[in-house]
Amino acid sequence: MYMMTENMETVRISPEKLNKKLDNIIEELVRENFEGRLVNGALTILVTDVENVGGGKMVHGDGGVYQKVKFNALVTKPEIQEVIEGSVCDVLSFGAFVRFGALDGLVHISQVTDDRINFDSGNKKLVGKSTKNELKIEDTVRARIVTLSLNERSPRESRIGLTMRQNGMGKLEWIEESRKKPEEKKEKKAEKKKKKVKK
């Protein structure tokens, strides 16, 4: 889930940066300290509208200045049971990695579909044994978050487990095909009734 948040934080301006334009330094420090980082379980993607709040403070024995800042941030906060859409970015023998926004999640091979899945290592794709449905890099999928372990220090190393084993989930082409099948059955039944009536 994406949202805009208003934040109040403190940044440290090192002594060697104090001779530069303060507004530029503060904006640079806020971007360095918060963009791409997890804060309160939300990943900050973009920082905007940075402004100083009051005067800076100095601490005895530290040559830096501690400046309160206010800024807006575009954040994403994935949640258990959330439905996401993303693109397959890697396929391995144990499943597929799906990139959604700034994060990646894993769809384990057992969570791709109800069909038995085989790994085609030569073509880097997962193939359903009976349906012959294929899942490969760059396919767009819809999945649900089932496990979530966010890494505060390195958000790209967070562990997010996904499943596609439910109605309305999976590769978008599979979802579209599953919607067409009931319609096709209804059309075939209607045609059979028409033929019976004509006889």
Identify the pLDDT of residue 143.
96
Mean pLDDT score across all residues of the chain: 88
Per-residue confidence at 126, pLDDT binned at 50, 70, 90?
very high
Burial classification of residue 35, based on how many CB atoms lie within 10 Å of its CB (0-12 exposed, 13-18 middle, 19 or more buried): middle
CA-based angle 126:130:136, to the nearest 5?
A: 20
User: What distance in Å separates the CA atoms of residue 67 and residue 9, rounded to the nearest whole number?
Assistant: 8
User: Does residue 60 register a pLDDT over 90?
Assistant: no
Mean pLDDT is lowest, of 38-52, 86-100, 184-198, for 184-198
pLDDT at 196 over 70: no
Beta strands in the chain (DSSP E): 2-13, 38-39, 42-52, 57-59, 62-76, 83-92, 95-100, 103-108, 117-120, 125-128, 134-136, 140-149, 159-163, 170-171
Would you list the DSSP string of 48-80? EEEEE-S--EEETTEEEEEEEEEEEEEEE---T
| pLDDT confidence bin for 184, thresholds 50/70/90 | low
Q: Looking at residue 153, what is its pLDDT? A: 78
- Find the angle CA(59)-CA(50)-CA(70) to the nearest 5 degrees: 60
CA-to-CA distance for 123 and 43, rounded, in angstroms? 34
Kindly state the percentage of the chain with pLDDT values over 70. Answer: 91
Domains in the chain, please, with CATH? 2-76 (3.30.1490.120), 83-172 (2.40.50.140)
Q: Can you tell me the mean pLDDT for 143-157?
A: 86
Q: Give the mean model confidence (pLDDT) for residues 24-39.
A: 89
Average pLDDT over residues 163-168: 91
Question: Does the predicted TM-score (pTM) go above 0.85?
Answer: no
